[in-house]
Structure 1
Amino acid sequence: MPEPQRVPAPHGLDPDGFIAREGSLARVQGAFRPVVAAARERLGAVWGDRLHSAYLYGSIPRGTAREGRSDLDLLVALHGEPAEADRTAANALGAALDREYGVIDGVGTLLYGRERLLSEAERYDMGWFLACLCTPLLGDDLAALLPRYRPSSLLARETNGDLARLLPRWRTRIAGAADTEEARGPLVRFMSRHLVRTGFTLVMPRWQGWTSDLGEMAEIFGAYYPERAAPMRVAARYGREPAGDAGVLRLYVDDLGPWLAAEYARVHGEKVLRPEEATP
């Protein structure tokens, strides 16, 4: 494949060539600081001594959040694996914050046990995610126990090399959704973002940089795969401004998604199965 003619200069790395941690509490915009402070206080109240640490990720710690449009994204590390009661508590906490603070549009909380986040199996997936894309909010930062990361093929494989396994689940979710734009909108948003990030990490080791901006991800991907640039730009647009378009969902699971999964496997291989995935 020839080298792309127009591609942004690589960035997002530290002087030694490792992916720089994005986001910080200092970048949280003033409008979002009260909800971040409330989240910090309530996380400790909900989990007490079982809470090891908590983190922000996404647009709020990057300083790019939009009032009334952006969600609050949290990663919670517990002492011990989370149980169903923990997920119920996380949902209740998120619903309360969303109800009380109109500046956000929903709360998403990832729950993990400390040992799993530090495990070899998660080293280039959730470990990388925590170390590079999460901002410490509460407790001791687990990033101190993780390595630094380069934009390598191994990182690409272990972060997004499972698209082929996800597509059947996506088709099931689409089939089970109500036939309304309101029901399809969240699916379009979620799948759009996932495809754009997968497209970007497909070419990330060649580009040798990092970005979390969906539009830039799509442009970088398109420079290496110009024949697929247009649908990836569509996905980037819908990732930011979703609409419940049934045709877009069909494009994702019948065309762009299968092509991207096959190309990803060809270039980087498939993500290693986790124990829970390998269990019949």
Structure 2
Amino acid sequence: MNDDRGLNRDGTIAREGSLGRVRAGFAPVVAAARSRIAEVFGPTRLDSAYLYGSIPRGTATPGVSDLDLVLALRGEPTGRDRADADAVEAELDASYGQIDGAGILLFTADTLLSALERHDMGFFVACLCTPLLGDDLAARLPSYRPTSLLARETNGDLCLALPRWRRRAAEATTDSERRALSRVVARRAVRTGFTLIMPQWGGWTSDLTESAELFARYHPHLPERAEQMRLAARTGRAPSADPAVLSLLVDDLAPWLAAEHIAVHGEKAPRP
């Protein structure tokens, strides 16, 4: 593996996490998540389960990082499935001080394997997720390279999030609400900025700081945008309640990135 650019020797994107990288302090949380998901969902509902984010990458910070999971279900997610996932999230968050929240995404296995999701959620499962339960769907997905197609399908829809973010920013009345939104917007902005230049760089990283610095390297003529990306990377790690920071992200950086990304890579294929 080429660790400098997150690639395998053949130039395909390497899976970035593994259970072996989970730090000792987070091992009990992961074990509990595996046990509870298996117990609550069972083999009739659950096809497979995955970890993603800083915990399987081995970069998680105790008391700060959250636990991120994806469940591939055998049927379309129901209200019961969502309620059960919410209950598992709450239980894990309340039981383990090592994490600051838990989040479970629900999809069908068929959706994750579909042609429409091949270069978005399929890529996510194959390269950014770590198997936790069940047969790994990555075995039924292709290898991926840092292409313009991948950039388009992973982040070519930022424009669709802008109205929702503006609405939430206008309605936010507490520091907690502003921090939560700043984290979401900042992380998405950094990832969009990274995939904007990802094919030129020829690799993959999920590290926010590295992503911002790579953007700056490929845009030396845009020093103001580079500084905004660095701010976004810092905010993604340590969310801000400052309305000025949130406004900069939502009203300035994100719209520019959305337009630039579409101009360079095109717009993501529409979903139903």
Scaled by the length of structure 1, the TM-score of the pair is 0.93
Q: CA deviation at 1:141?
A: 0.2
Unaligned residue ranges in structure 2 (runs of 5+): none
Alignment of 1:1-280 (within 5 A): 11-48=5-42, 49-178=44-173, 180-226=174-220, 227=222, 228-275=225-272
Cα separation, 2, equivalents of 1:235 and 1:147: 32
Cα separation, 2, equivalents of 1:243 and 1:265: 28
Q: CA deviation at 1:128?
A: 0.2
For residue 184 of structure 2, what is the amino acid of its counterpart?
Answer: F
Cα separation, 1, equivalents of 2:111 and 2:240: 36
- Of all paired residues, the percent bearing the same amino acid is 64
Cα separation, 1, equivalents of 2:143 and 2:165: 33
SS at match of 1:64: coil
For residue 5 of structure 2, what is the amino acid of its counterpart?
Answer: H
SS at match of 1:136: strand
For residue 29 of structure 1, what is the amino acid of its counterpart?
Answer: R
Displacement over 6 Å in runs of 4+: none
Question: Which 10-residue stretch deviates more, 114-123 or 77-86?
Answer: 77-86
For residue 124 of structure 1, what is the amino acid of its counterpart?
Answer: H
Aligned pair count reads: 266
SS at match of 1:13: coil
CA contact (8 A) 1:131 1:142 kept: yes
Q: CA deviation at 1:257?
A: 1.2
Q: Deviations over 1:110-149 (max 9, x none)?
A: 1000100000110000000000000000000000000000
CA contact (8 A) 1:10 1:207 kept: no
Unaligned residue ranges in structure 1 (runs of 5+): 1-8, 276-280
Cα separation, 1, equivalents of 2:13 and 2:197: 15
Q: Which residue of 2 aligns with 1:278?
A: none
Cα separation, 1, equivalents of 2:175 and 2:41: 37
CA RMSD of aligned residues (A): 1.0
Cα separation, 1, equivalents of 2:39 and 2:171: 37
For residue 236 of structure 1, what is the amino acid of its counterpart?
Answer: A
SS at match of 2:105: strand
CA contact (8 A) 1:10 1:210 kept: no
